[in-house]
């Protein structure tokens, strides 16, 4: 086995970094981009100066539209305007600040050491990105479950097909709702037999996880008001929702800056390559490298992944066979 390493920074003398908040403009385009599952997401569209999303709320379905004039820009100078339609309109409007990361604090390491150089650079490059909190655990869980153990391209196609098959048209005027569709309603998903999902490429295990999540929509909205750790503990009680799924959703729905995604095919390798010069690592090693950044580990992980791209690849290119053809 060929092992590639590069010179890594020395270890920190202090066990944990200390943080300070900094002023920085906000990019709504980069912040809200996390909620669009591919360019053709039937539930969510991000366009220059405009974001539209159809989703389900505790009060019923709703469509949210956000528009802005400047990006990036100081939070009070971007010209953000919000409108919403449907029974869930008031709920969606009340969560605009959370969704757009207005409450998120941009941070940097107060006294960086030599070993912090990759983290400092990555955070600086991501400074305009805020951590939003949609509060819609049900909506975020569905495409995340679909993305379990398959390639990104397959996950996009399967999510888009599922929404087009089962999602209802979004409420609102045609110029806003347009082609948007709501995520599949819980009652629509709950009683589907697992074989119904097979033509979409979704095998029994993920199909069962989708139907299990659909059994608990009201609980999911209540859990979104808990602390991120408590909400994750509740989510992992649902069959088919493990640490990878819960960690991913903690960031999107709850805006948790410390949410680390374990069990991912790439993240551990990328973090280890960026922070330690090691081309391959497991989750334990990734958590060890992120330990000094406790409280902001999720923010650091995503910033490092964005800045680094990928770890070195070995061996021949693997042929990707769609799961529906396994």
CA quadruple 85, 86, 90, 91: dihedral sign: negative
Supply the CATH number for residue 67's domain: 1.10.340.30
Q: Residue 317: inside a domain, yes or no?
A: no
Q: What is the pLDDT of residue 265?
A: 87
The answer to the question of residue 135 being in a domain is: yes
At residue 107, the pLDDT reads 97
CA 3 to chain centre: 31
Q: Sign of torsion, CA 200 205 209 215? A: positive
In a domain, 10, yes or no: no
Global pTM reads 0.91
Residue 321 lies in a domain: no
2 occurs within a structural domain: no
Alpha helix positions (H), the chain? 28-32, 89-94, 96-99, 117-125, 137-146, 152-166, 174-177, 186-190, 194-197, 204-213, 217-223, 228-235, 243-254, 267-276, 283-290, 297-308
**Owner of token pair 């960690």:** 247
173-215 pLDDT tens trace: 999 999 999 999 999 999 999 999 999 999 999 999 999 999 9
pLDDT value, residue 149: 85
pLDDT given for residue 258 in this prediction: 97
Domain of 258? 19-309
- Collapsing DSSP states into helix, strand and coil, what is residue 120? helix
What's the pLDDT tens digit per position in 236-265? 999 999 999 999 999 999 999 999 999 998
CA distances 89 to 63, 133, 174, 278, Å, are 7, 17, 16, 48
pLDDT at 240: 96
Does some domain include residue 13?
no
Domain assignment of residue 239, yes or no: yes
Separation between Cα atoms, residue 248 and residue 241, nearest integer Å: 11
Please give the tally of structural domains in the chain. Answer: 1
Is residue 87 domain-resident?
yes
Low pLDDT (below 70) residues in the chain: 1-14, 315-326
């Amino acid at each position: 086995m060929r092992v590639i390493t590069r010179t890594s920074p020395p270890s920190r003398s202090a066990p944990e970094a200390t943080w300070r908040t900094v002023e920085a403009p906000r990019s709504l385009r980069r912040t809200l981009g996390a909620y669009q599952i591919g360019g053709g997401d039937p539930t969510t569209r991000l366009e220059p100066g405009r974001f539209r999303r159809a989703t389900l709320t505790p009060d019923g379905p709703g469509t949210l539209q956000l528009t802005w004039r400047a990006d990036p820009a100081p939070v009070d100078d971007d010209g953000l305007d919000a409108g919403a339609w449907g029974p869930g309109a008031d709920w969606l409007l009340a969560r605009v600040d959370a969704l757009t990361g207005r409450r998120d604090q941009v941070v940097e390491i107060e006294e960086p050491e030599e070993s912090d150089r990759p983290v400092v650079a990555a955070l600086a490059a991501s400074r305009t990105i805020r951590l939003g909190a949609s509060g819609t655990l049900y909506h975020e869980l569905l495409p995340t479950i679909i993305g379990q153990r398959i390639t990104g391209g397959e996950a996009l196609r399967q999510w888009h097909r599922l929404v087009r098959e089962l999602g209802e048209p979004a409420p609102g005027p045609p110029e806003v709702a347009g082609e948007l569709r709501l995520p599949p309603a819980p009652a629509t998903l709950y009683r589907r037999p697992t074989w119904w999902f097979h033509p979409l490429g979704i095998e029994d295990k993920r199909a069962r996880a989708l139907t299990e999540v659909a059994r608990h929509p009201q609980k999911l909205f209540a859990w979104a008001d808990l602390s991120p750790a408590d909400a994750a503990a509740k989510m992992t009680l649902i069959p088919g929702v493990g640490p990878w799924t819960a960690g991913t959703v903690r960031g999107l729905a709850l805006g948790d800056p410390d949410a680390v995604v374990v069990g991912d095919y790439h993240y551990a390798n990328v973090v280890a390559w960026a922070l330690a010069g090691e081309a391959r690592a497991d989750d334990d090693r990734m958590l060890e490298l992120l330990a000094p950044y406790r409280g902001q580990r999720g923010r650091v992980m995503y910033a490092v992944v964005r800045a680094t791209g990928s770890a070195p690849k070995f061996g021949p290119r693997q042929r990707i066979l769609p799961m529906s053809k396994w």
